[in-house]
Chain A
Amino acid sequence: MSKTKMTAWVVFAFVIIAFAVSVALKGALVTVGAFLTLFIFSFLYKDNPYYKFAEHLFVGVSAAYWMCMGFWGTMVPNLFGKLYPPMVGGVLPALKDNPAEPFMIIPLILGILLLMRLAPNAGWISRWALAFIVGTTAGLNLVRYLRSDFIQQINNTTFSLYISSAAGFDFGQTMSNIVIFIGVLCGLIYFFFSKEHKGAFGAGARVGIIVLMVTFGASFGYTVMARISLLVGRMQFLFGDWLGMIK
């Protein structure tokens, strides 16, 4: 047996023993959670069989989780329950007496069309369902974005550049408003595709890039905190709930 293989077996034996001891001392539930946490964290060192185990388990469990949620949360109440309520009477008695909604046949047909791609020669028909989905998205988004992100943003950015308060001219606020106004304009210039970034236009685009860089740096720095608290939460679980070293 090679040396690396030996080490691997020693580590494996150690993990098994530690797991058994932990189950005996702390109970199975918290132990499972703690070991899975450690397995995931071990990825930071390098890829290893323990991470592989956690990863593969996670993939399997999560895929089934969403299938079940989709089945009981959407398929049963919203499709069967609306199409033919008596059918779900056994599992959702509350819906039994609702009137049927015949229009729900549309998603049923589209869903079946989608599954047709499993059939060898009728795969193309699944595109009808897809066309429906994409058409819906396009139609909804077209108006929604125009409304809330385009027109509403004009409204939000239309403010006075000259601010005076009770104490007189407010230099700080005026500067801030000017920076926002110019920042938005130059940021937009950067996004022009069909005009070369040259001359005055190019200068505007340069300012635009600078504004974007400030945005990216600031957003990044700002998020660090939230990410750290996630880790604190995990560490509290490991050292507090599991090892009992906190408090």
Chain B
Amino acid sequence: MANNEVQNQSLIEKLQLIDRRIIFVFIACAVVIPLLVGATMEEETTPIVQAFFDYVENLPEDSRVLLSFDYGPTTAPEIQPMADAIVRHCAERKCKLYMMAVWATGHNLTGETIVNVLNPEFPDYKYGEEYVNLGYKAGNQGLIRLLLVDFKRMYSTDAAGTAIDSIPMMENINNLKNFDLIVSFGGGFPGIKEWVLYAGDPGNVPVGGGCTAVSAPLLYPYYPNQLIGLLGGAKGAAEYENALITAYPQYENKRMAGMSLMVSQTVSHMVIIFFIIFGNVLYFLHRSKQKANGIEGGQS
């Protein structure tokens, strides 16, 4: 566009051609500022999350909980907060934690939860006695089906290569039916749906899940008959964290990832909504001005 043309433009026209980098700056701020300020947003716990929380809350001591990390780095920002919150809660209830993954990428993320949450916050938790990391095994839903029949045939060692029979907490685990609760994180394939269809339903084991907001609608139909509860996206994580804080006030001052992610998301949505409104207002001002000038149908 030639220079004199730009000069002849009215303010409205100039604003309409707003440099997209300005929008980028706004979005970056919408994400970063809440993170830096540490703002959190309380989410009232909805029944589908509360049901999950109550189930864990009522688990007796030494209950066996299987946690499957079925997601990758790209969805980790959304799902890791859920894993952290549920691991915290289970550890408060003194449950035994069995961690595994049916996604290859889940293995590293299991490590993150162990290093960031379990080890620093629950130093009494001993590896092999209260928690174990079994690692990833290939086979998708076929793996789940086999685990329902025979757990140790697929997992002959843990992730570090220790023989499974030398791990004390694995002693009474023969198949998935020995668990009191199965939790799958991740709504992709394989994920919560496969855990419900191939373990929860045939084995009659309670299954709970946490998934991205995008895949949550596909899983809602399984609640409450086949899923004890479901956390969907940052909102689900924030709701669970809220329930956790209500029940365990010692977490009140702890930074909760889900609640802060929720702020970033909400503010970004507001920014985008603002720009959509702004753009349309300018567009209509521009059009009515053109009409006044007798130019019809001009669009920039």
How many interface residues does B have (CB within 8 Å)? Answer: 27
Asked if residues B21 and A44 are in contact (CB atoms below 8 Å), the reply is yes
Q: How far is the CA of A8 from the CA of B27 in the complex (A)?
A: 27
Interface string of B30-60 (1 = CB under 8 A from A): 0110011010000000000000000000000
- The answer to whether A231 and B31 touch (CB under 8 A), given A44-B24, A225-B269, A247-B255, is yes
Asked if residues B74 and A230 are in contact (CB atoms below 8 Å), the reply is yes
| A239 interface neighbour in B27, B35, B74, B213, Cβ under 8 Å | B35
Asked if residues A225 and B265 are in contact (CB atoms below 8 Å), the reply is yes
Q: Is the interface of B mostly helix, strand, loop or mixed?
A: helix
* Inter-chain contact total with CB atoms closer than 8 Å: 63
How many interface residues does A have (CB within 8 Å)? Answer: 20
Residues of chain A contacted by B31 (CB below 8 angstroms): 228, 231-232, 235
Q: Tell me the smallest distance from the CB of B86 to a CB of chain A, in Å.
A: 18
Residues of chain B contacted by A233 (CB below 8 angstroms): 73, 76-77
Residues of chain A contacted by B213 (CB below 8 angstroms): 225-226
Q: Tell me the smallest distance from the CB of B90 to a CB of chain A, in Å.
A: 23
Residues of chain B contacted by A45 (CB below 8 angstroms): 21
Q: What are 30 pairs between A and B in contact, CB < 8 Å?
A: A44-B24, A224-B268, A224-B272, A225-B213, A225-B234, A225-B269, A226-B75, A226-B78, A226-B212, A226-B214, A228-B31, A228-B269, A229-B75, A229-B77, A229-B78, A229-B234, A230-B74, A230-B77, A232-B35, A232-B77, A232-B265, A233-B76, A233-B77, A235-B31, A235-B35, A236-B35, A239-B36, A240-B35, A246-B36, A247-B255
Binding site for A on B (CB under 8 A): 21, 24, 27-28, 31-32, 35-36, 38, 73-78, 212-214, 233-234, 255, 261, 264-265, 268-269, 272
